[in-house]
Amino acid sequence: MQRQPRDNPRNCHHLISFTRLPTTMFILFSILLILSRFSTATTESNVKAMFVFGDSIVDCGNNDFLDTYAKCNYFPYGVDFILRATGRCTNGRTPADFLGLFLGLPHFLPAFYDPQTRGSSILAGVNYASGASGILDSTRQSLNVTSLSHQIANFGETTLPDLKSQLNGSFALSSYLSQSIFFFLIGGGDYMASCTTSSGVAVECDLQKLTELLIRNYTHHLMKAYDLGARKFVVFNLLQTGCDPYFKQRNNGSCVDLLNEGSTLFNNALRPALENLSEDLPGFSFVYINMSGIINVIIDDPTTYGLKLTNESCCFFNAASVTESLCVEGDEACPDRSIYAYYDGLHLTEKLYMHLSAKAYSSDLQTEAYPFNVEVLANLDISLMLTGAPSFHTHDQ
């Protein structure tokens, strides 16, 4: 099929705009409610910037610049997005986009690999996320995507020197970073790559050993970000992807329980790991977002959230392999995206991401955001907790 024309991904730099109406009045009404709910909070936010690390859930177009076919830069992706198909694997905005909105950031964060992501364009933050990537460097290495360790290296080796030159020195940079949000959402792809075949069928894997390896590596990567100056961390746990439309279609309508068990083990270990880092590292502050629990509640009670279809995707996808769990290029999306939970075989719709992000930002329930929400973290003064400027060294593994 012929590729539909799309905007250049560097349009991630453009100012947020709400002049283009979503497809349904329900989505419009929901967004207006959220805007009014957070209008005061965003103007009072002390956040200088946000730096996003993760996988396809929050990739805003980094993979567009890589030699990989793990891309969402074509129609019908972006059908409800002001910039159209930029590389976001959904019909509209991602959780990172919404959280940036709630925090009062002036524009969508630019993709790191866009050549124009330099200079003043990075002062509100940068998005390093790469679709199909994982916590482990070995995860889908053949796809030429950017693993978490390399995403953090991109921040440290390229973005930090640029910021330092713009902010006139290490002291100003340290203060700026301590008032910035470091957003992490990654790990599901590691289980998919290790515990399923390329055709989505479960294979034998040691979930306990894999989980221990992932948590150990994740902790090391978070410590590396801390050494580079990060102080405020927003960390999302893993969705239970075993019941995604792609896996159910590949397994005769049944969930891949192995994936769900893996994410449960990971989620149970992640929060204690973050608490340990908070105890060990001066100034390390975090919010643990129970993404799995929040999304499960929405899908289990769909009518409350205006949903009707929670087990099928909005767009058509070819389930022959995990790389074909994406929308077929050029095919039409479903007419009413607001009633769907899933946009393609693996990714959720903008509507669910909007609800997820709103809860992450403002929920008072510790079962959703622990130990407090992102709004509290954003306005948290950690200056008294800091022992000095970041040393910019790396912890030994």
Residue 390 within any structural domain of the chain? no
Q: Give the model's pLDDT for residue 385.
A: 58
Q: Give the model's pLDDT for residue 198.
A: 82
- Show Cβ contacts of residue 49 under 8 Å, excluding neighbours closer than 6 positions: 105, 122, 123, 124, 125, 176, 180, 181
The domain that holds 330 is classified in CATH as 3.40.50.1110
Per the annotation, the verdict on 347 as an active-site residue is yes
Structure tokens at 324: 């074909």
Residue 4 within any structural domain of the chain? no
Active-site residue identified among 56, 174, 180, 363 = 56
The answer to whether the beta carbons of residues 182 and 228 sit under 8 Å apart is no
Q: What is the pTM of this model?
A: 0.88
Q: Give the model's pLDDT for residue 13.
A: 40
Residue 392 within any structural domain of the chain? no
Active-site residue identified among 55, 64, 114, 344 = 344
Residue 393 within any structural domain of the chain? no
Q: Give the model's pLDDT for residue 27.
A: 43
Q: Give the model's pLDDT for residue 320.
A: 56
How many degrees, rounded to 5, is the angle at CA 228 between CA 223 and CA 234? 60
Q: Give the model's pLDDT for residue 390.
A: 45
Q: Give the model's pLDDT for residue 153.
A: 98
The answer to whether the beta carbons of residues 194 and 140 sit under 8 Å apart is no
Residue 127 within any structural domain of the chain? yes
Residue 2 within any structural domain of the chain? no
Number of structural domains, the chain? 1
- Measure CA of the first residue to CA of the last residue in the chain; give whole Å: 48
Residue 270 within any structural domain of the chain? yes
pLDDT mean by block of 10 residues, the chain; 397 residues: 36 37 41 43 71 98 97 97 96 98 97 97 98 97 97 98 95 96 98 92 95 98 98 98 94 95 98 98 98 97 96 86 79 96 97 98 98 97 58 40
Active-site residue identified among 347, 355, 357, 363 = 347
Residue 394 within any structural domain of the chain? no
The domain of 345 spans 9-15+24-385
Burial of 389 (0-12, 13-18, 19+ CB in 10 A): middle
Q: Give the model's pLDDT for residue 395.
A: 43
